[in-house]
Structure 1
C-alpha cells in the first residue's frame, strides 16, 4: 500500500487497471504514485520493468509479443497505427512470424528504438480495428513489412500472401513498392507477371537464361468440352506444356491423359539445383514440340485448338504421329 494526500494506492493491484499490464509513467504518476516508487519497482530485481522510454510493464515476466505491440502503440502516442508483420497477423495473414522490432505508423516525430521501428507519414491511412489494436490497412501493412525485410523470399511471401489470399489489388501496392529497394521492385515485377508463389518465383529465375518464351502462370486447363483438368503453375500454350511445382497428383494424371506434357519439379529441387532444373525444362519443351499439340482449352475463356507448333523449340513436328500422353517426373 502507498498513501498520498489524494488516495490510498494498492501498488500491487495496479497492473489490473491497464490492458496487458502496460502503462505509461505519466499515467502512474497521475494516479498519485511517487516518482521514486517507479524507479524502485523497476530495479533489476523489482516487480516491474521498463519496456520503452516512458512505458512500463507492470510485471516481472518477459513481455509477450502482444505486450510489446501494446507498448509500441503507447510509445507512439495518440493516432499511432500498428503496421508491418504484427498488423498482417491481426489481419489474418500467417505467412511470416512476428519477430524483431514492432513497426508503427505515426504522423509526428517519434524516436525509433531497438524494439520499435517508426515510419512517419504526412497523413495516416484510415485505421482498422483488429482485436483491440488500431492497425494500418492490409495493403499498407504489407508495404511496410516488405520494406523492413532483407531476404527476398520473405518479401515474396508477404506480398504474395496479401495479393493471393488477402485480396489486395496489385495496383494498390505499386505506388509504394515502386519506390522500394531493388528486391522489392523485383518482387513487384514478378507479381505483375502473374507469379503467385515463392516456387513460381524460383522457377521464373530458372527461365531467365533459357531460350524459351515466357510462360503464363496459374493457368486453368480444360478439355475441348470444358472439363477441368487442373491448373498449371506455369503454362506454355503453343507447346501444351505444364510445369508443376509439387509432387505428382491425380490432376497431373488428368493433364497427361489429355495429351499435355507435364513436368513436375519439387520446390526443393528448384531451390537447390536450378541448373539441372533448367535442363529438365528444355527436355520437356523438346518432347512437347515433337508431337502434335492436343486440342484443349487453357485460361479462363479462350479456346485453344490443336496446331502443329513448337518446331522452333523442340524440332520438326511429325504430323503422322498420334497424341502422346506424357508426364515427366524430375
Structure 2
C-alpha cells in the first residue's frame, strides 16, 4: 500500500452548489478512491479538472469563483506541508508573501494574548483568511471585491512548512487568534485583518480609509486596532502613524457623540462637558468627559489606546490603565462617583449605560457630601 491507495473509497458527490464538493484536496480525493495519477490525468490540457494550487483540485474546467478560490487557499494552507512533510520551525527573520522581515515578523508573531483558534472545529486545520480578503468578507466597502484581488492572504502557524504560491499568500503567526465564521469561511478578527492588510500597503489614503471604516463602521475599537498595529511594528511607518492619529481622534469624537445622545435621549440632567477637576488651591485631579456638580458624579470615557510616537514608542496598555485607576480612586476618596464607560458599551447598550448613570445620580442623596472641587474648562 502507498500514499495513492484509498483507505475508505467513497463515490464523489455531484458538484451541486456546495463548494466543498467542487474543490477537494489530494487527501480528500484519496478518501473518495481517486489516486494521485488519476487526479493528474484529469487535470491535463482539455481535461475536466484543474489544479489551482498544489495539492488542491477544482472539479470543473471553468474559472474558479471567489468562493472556490477562498476554499482552495484554505485547503492548501491547512495541510502540514508538501507531500505530507512534517512541520519544521521557520528560520528566524524569514518573511512570507513578499512582506518585509520586520513587518512580517510582527504581523506574524503578534497577539500573544490572543486566544488560540480551535483547530478541531475547522476542516482547515485552524488557518484563516486575513488581510483584504478577510475585510471584504467582513463587509468593508473600502476594500476591493474578492474577484479583484490577485492574492488572498491566509494566516497560518509559524511552523507550517508551506510557501506562498500563485494566489495564496501565507502570513505566519506564533499564536493564531480565534477565527470568526463569515458565510462559513474562517476569517481573522477585523483588527488583525486590518493590520495584515496595512503591512502590505503603502498608499496613505487607502490605509486611512481602512482604519476609519474599522471604527466608523463599528467593526472594532480603536484600542484593539492600534494594539495590533503596534504589535506588527507598523507604527514606525509615517503614513500609518498619521492614519492612527486621525483614527484615535475619530474614535473619541464618535464616543463623545454617543454620550451626548445618551443624555438627550434618556432625559438625564444636563452636565458640564469636558472639564478639569481640582481641589481649591490644591492639586489637579484630572479631566472628565461629563460632570454633575450637584450630585458629584463624573463620567469618563475609556478611549485609551497604546500611544504612538515619542522616544519610547507605544505606551504599555497596563500603564495607561493604571493611570485611569489612580485618578478614579483619588476622586472617589473625595466622594466623587466616577462612571467608567467604553465606546463599545455606548454603541451596543446605550439604554443600559443611561440607567447606570441615572442610578448614580439618583443615589447621590444617600451618600455623604463630597469634598468641594473646582470645575474648570478643559
Matched residues in 1 for 2:27 and 2:188: separation? Answer: 27
CA deviations on 1:63-113 (whole Å, 9 max, x unpaired) are: 111111111111111100111122222222222123121111111323111
Task: Note the 1:1-330 alignment, pairs <5 A.
Answer: 15-16=15-16, 19=20, 21-77=22-78, 78-97=125-144, 98=146, 99-107=149-157, 108-109=159-160, 110-178=162-230, 179-180=233-234, 181-194=237-250
Matched residues in 2 for 1:119 and 1:6: separation? Answer: 33
Report the secondary structure of 1:148's partner residue: coil
Give 1 or 2 for the bigger CA radius of gyration. Answer: 1
Structure 1 residue ranges without an equivalent (≥5): 197-215, 221-225, 228-303, 305-330
Structure 1 residues 5 and 165, CA gap change in structure 2 (3 angstroms): closer
Matched residues in 1 for 2:9 and 2:178: separation? Answer: 41
Given that 2:56 and 2:76 are in contact with CA atoms closer than 8 Å, whether structure 1 keeps it comes out as yes
Given that 2:154 and 2:170 are in contact with CA atoms closer than 8 Å, whether structure 1 keeps it comes out as yes
Matched residues in 2 for 1:182 and 1:70: separation? Answer: 36
* Aligned length in residues: 202
Partner of 2:369: none
Structure 1 residues 151 and 195, CA gap change in structure 2 (3 angstroms): farther
Moved more, 111-120 or 67-76: 111-120
Structure 1 residues 31 and 182, CA gap change in structure 2 (3 angstroms): same
Matched residues in 2 for 1:8 and 1:177: separation? Answer: 48
Partner of 2:353: none
Q: Displacement of 1:8 after TM fit? A: 8.3
CA RMSD for the aligned pairs? 3.3
Moved more, 146-155 or 158-167: 146-155
Matched residues in 1 for 2:77 and 2:8: separation? Answer: 30
CA deviations on 1:224-275 (whole Å, 9 max, x unpaired) are: xx99xxxxxxxxxxxxxxxxxxxxxxxxxxxxxxxxxxxxxxxxxxxxxxxx
Structure 1 residues 20 and 5, CA gap change in structure 2 (3 angstroms): closer
Moved more, 168-177 or 61-70: 168-177
Matched residues in 2 for 1:68 and 1:44: separation? Answer: 20
Moved more, 18-27 or 116-125: 18-27
Report the secondary structure of 2:57's partner residue: strand
Report the secondary structure of 1:86's partner residue: helix
Structure 2 residue ranges without an equivalent (≥5): 79-124, 258-262, 265-376
